[in-house]
Chains A and B, each alone.
Chain A
């Protein structure tokens, strides 16, 4: 199993690395090469599915930190993998037609393949850190694909926005992961010995530390940013700047599902306290309290579902409409997973599949419309069925499914959400009655925009539209395949349930899962009434669509728009850094140096204060001889003379006094090698200084008193910090490293004489260390000196040969 999983995850990356080469040979047909890679992945995922391999498979990754590259295979992982590879095949085929004549195709296909690998990694990751790594890789590839048209300002804005929001959210999630791995003492997510397996104990630890709710919220931020939940939905409509196949793949079928996946993956963990079920005992246990999980995710999901649906009604562009609709449907899935009963898990699991099938089809339809009709404006498109008959059929099936009209597949999963909210409100009562009400409200708007999308194909053809081409087969087949999937699931939803959705449901509930059935309603249950209300109200409101549309648009002004907050925050930060940077980096060496030195001192002192370090008592017996004191005193006098030197030459000579005094200090400190080196270097430096000074102007810069006082203050602060550090650190000198080394060699006392002689073949330990133990360091040091010499030569020679600047 491990080999298959590794192949599934890493094959796309290998494929991506080879893409530039393949592009040279195949040109635009690289699309079919990429589709073939995706098809192999799909085959491997199918193999995983058919062999029924489940559970953890791990290889060591960073053994020293105990991080393994663990994968976990279950229903949820398989479903997302199927979506990533299966939709991947269709999208890459479609790209062959769509991207005809577009720039940057090698990069495009390489990034799409890399994305597919990352998404498969997210789906199959069994370890928190593996999950995080792949998660951020999807953000990165999304950034590259949104910014595909690199020279356009809109693409740049959109790419930056999605990157900022999703990567920032990912960092919140990482903190959540760190808390989880601290509390659980493991980084495995599910399976044997994992967080989910020990959920009770882990949650207990988190609750005792008061970190349960923060952890939940941190994960929620990660999921919400990735899955474009309100108020982080703002990046998704802008992401439509990407080529349409990218929108269909990343921003509807797969990447945005990562957030939903996270919610589903951690649902059994967070709901383990209130294991849901149909039984009376379970219901009673659940009735005791609304778990934080439900408060967070049901609210988040339902608000997103409704707000995004309203925004979709207010859209003027078909891709924008689909983007908001995607956010809305992701909200539906999050809400369903949020509700702590089994209907919720069923609805969420089923809707992942349904949404991917109908929404990817609709995006591909939108791509055909934009490509062939030359516009994406809703008010300019109508009667397209005359020109695009097959596309119209696909659009009809998919948009009716999106509207939640029976018997299409979107109806079944929405029905499960209604059932979940109603049953939950019925059990708990009180404020939870808001859940079903909001769910119906959001669904009414969903119905409205779905019908609007369908109406592009109905009615009279707008003559202003001009000639509409027929799409090539490579663009028509993929949405048709998806429509067939929608059709099959619609006709018999139990096929999907038995094939995979039942297993997905099993992955998202704590404890044992029961089997579930869906089908057309046969009795008048509350959920059926809710569906009837949705469709009825929607149908009644449909004639007023344009007024609702205008109303939504006129209400979206200023701070009501989440974009307003984003744009102002970014603009504010930019303005702030524009004001701060010139103060810190003004081109003057002294400013940079002052900031660095004062900053370092402040950090050091702050660290001492925070750690409660006290200055040691000064009663340590004297180690220093009079000689050392005298030498150091002369060195200080030398330094003072340098600072006060009346000319460059005087300064250099006094600097030499300091240097030679340090050499004498090395002699007294029993470091003969250092003393020799220091003497050589000091002599050389003196010569170089004198050579260079001969070419430089004699003297510069009288300092005014104010500057001198200010600099003296900075210098004083640095000096005091260093003095304090010396007092603190030398009081606590550890055993010498030589002693440690001898101890580690494990030799009997008195026999370590030969340690260095035998080991390094030398009598001088410093030399043995330099040329043997740390030989690579010494090689680096020699390279540095060689490089400095080369640079010196270049700097002087370039000028002499007249190559100025």
Chain B
């Protein structure tokens, strides 16, 4: 089997799985999906630089040229940025759960007053406790206590 086919199959599968996760109702899974897709994109970029050649460190001089350092620099930036994005997305998820008591995107969309009333935006943003999944008692209590200082 050639290199290309392995890579193409791997990246195709990773993107497909990531996409499938992004389309889920559970916000945490959406974050996973984004994370998988960005990992796959990084791998793709690295393969573009070629997998042969030594590490671009030190006096590699006389022999074969090293692998492309520029893509590595790009991907290094991408990994760090991806870390920032994932962390922010997770905390946002947490915050959404605190505000709305659910992390089900369907329930969130229904609770959105901008969507519910077509004229948009004048109704008070009501906190709804719509959730169609099981909540363990601890988090329910958590929601209750935070709901208390809501008004």
| Residues of chain B at interface, number, CB under 8 A | 107
Q: Which of B2, B23, B95, B149 has the most CB of A within 10 A?
A: B23
Distance in Å: Cβ of A204 to nearest Cβ of chain B: 46
Check if B77 sits within 8 Å of A590, measured CB to CB: no
The reply to whether the CB of A517 lies closer than 8 angstroms to some CB of chain B is no
Distance in Å: Cβ of B12 to nearest Cβ of chain A: 3
The 0/1 profile, CB within 8 Å of B marked 1, for residues 585-596 of chain A is: 011111001100
Given the known inter-chain contacts A659-B39, A752-B61, please indicate yes or no for A738 contacting B20, CB distance below 8 A. no
Check if B11 sits within 8 Å of A723, measured CB to CB: yes
Check if B106 sits within 8 Å of A588, measured CB to CB: yes
List A651-685 residues whose CB lies under 8 Å from chain B.
651-652, 655, 658-659, 662, 665-666, 668-674, 677-678, 681, 684-685
Given the known inter-chain contacts A700-B103, A723-B9, please indicate yes or no for A777 contacting B77, CB distance below 8 A. yes
CA distance A711 to B51 in the complex (A): 33
The reply to whether the CB of A554 lies closer than 8 angstroms to some CB of chain B is no
Check if B84 sits within 8 Å of A785, measured CB to CB: yes
Check if A692 sits within 8 Å of B93, measured CB to CB: yes
Check if B19 sits within 8 Å of A753, measured CB to CB: no
Pick the interface stretch among A59-67, A181-189, A467-475, A765-773. A765-773
Check if B20 sits within 8 Å of A712, measured CB to CB: yes
Check if A624 sits within 8 Å of B6, measured CB to CB: yes
Contact check: which of B25, B43, B77 meets A701 at CB < 8 Å? B25
The 0/1 profile, CB within 8 Å of A marked 1, for residues 1-24 of chain B is: 111111111111111111111111
Check if B80 sits within 8 Å of A635, measured CB to CB: no
Task: Give every chain A residue within 8 A of B7 (Cβ-Cβ).
Answer: 624, 632, 726, 730
Which applies to chain B's interface (DSSP): helix, strand, loop or mixed?
helix
List B22-42 residues whose CB lies under 8 Å from chain A.
22-30, 32, 35-36, 39-40, 42
Distance in Å: Cβ of B30 to nearest Cβ of chain A: 6
Check if A636 sits within 8 Å of B14, measured CB to CB: yes
| Residues of chain A at interface, number, CB under 8 A | 109
Check if A788 sits within 8 Å of B133, measured CB to CB: no
Check if A696 sits within 8 Å of B73, measured CB to CB: no
Contact check: which of B19, B36, B69 meets A658 at CB < 8 Å? B36
Check if A662 sits within 8 Å of B2, measured CB to CB: no
Check if B56 sits within 8 Å of A765, measured CB to CB: yes
Task: Give every chain A residue within 8 A of B91 (Cβ-Cβ).
Answer: 692, 791-792, 795-796
Distance in Å: Cβ of B50 to nearest Cβ of chain A: 6
Task: Give every chain B residue within 8 A of A739 (Cβ-Cβ).
Answer: 65
CA distance A737 to B65 in the complex (A): 11
Check if A730 sits within 8 Å of B69, measured CB to CB: no
List B75-106 residues whose CB lies under 8 Å from chain A.
75-77, 79-88, 90-95, 97-99, 102-106
Check if B77 sits within 8 Å of A733, measured CB to CB: no
The reply to whether the CB of B52 lies closer than 8 angstroms to some CB of chain A is yes
Distance in Å: Cβ of A428 to nearest Cβ of chain B: 60
Contact check: which of B39, B73, B134 meets A774 at CB < 8 Å? B73
Distance in Å: Cβ of B53 to nearest Cβ of chain A: 6
Check if B12 sits within 8 Å of A722, measured CB to CB: yes
Task: Give every chain A residue within 8 A of B81 (Cβ-Cβ).
Answer: 781, 784-785
CA distance A785 to B48 in the complex (A): 26
Distance in Å: Cβ of A705 to nearest Cβ of chain B: 14
Closest to B58 in A: A763
CA distance A153 to B72 in the complex (A): 57
Distance in Å: Cβ of B20 to nearest Cβ of chain A: 4
CA distance A313 to B33 in the complex (A): 67
Q: Which of A632, A718, A722 has the most CB of B within 10 A?
A: A722
The reply to whether the CB of B130 lies closer than 8 angstroms to some CB of chain A is no
Task: Give every chain A residue within 8 A of B3 (Cβ-Cβ).
Answer: 620, 622-624, 730
Can you identify 11 A-B contacts, CB atoms within 8 angstroms? A635-B10, A668-B51, A697-B97, A718-B16, A723-B8, A736-B49, A766-B69, A770-B73, A795-B92, A804-B149, A804-B150
* B residues apposed to A, CB below 8 Å: 1-30, 32, 35-36, 39-40, 42-44, 46-62, 65-73, 75-77, 79-88, 90-95, 97-99, 102-106, 108-109, 112, 114-115, 125, 131, 133-136, 139, 142, 146, 149-150
The list of the 8 closest CB pairs from A to B, nearest first, reads A719-B16, A723-B12, A753-B61, A788-B84, A587-B109, A701-B25, A736-B68, A624-B3
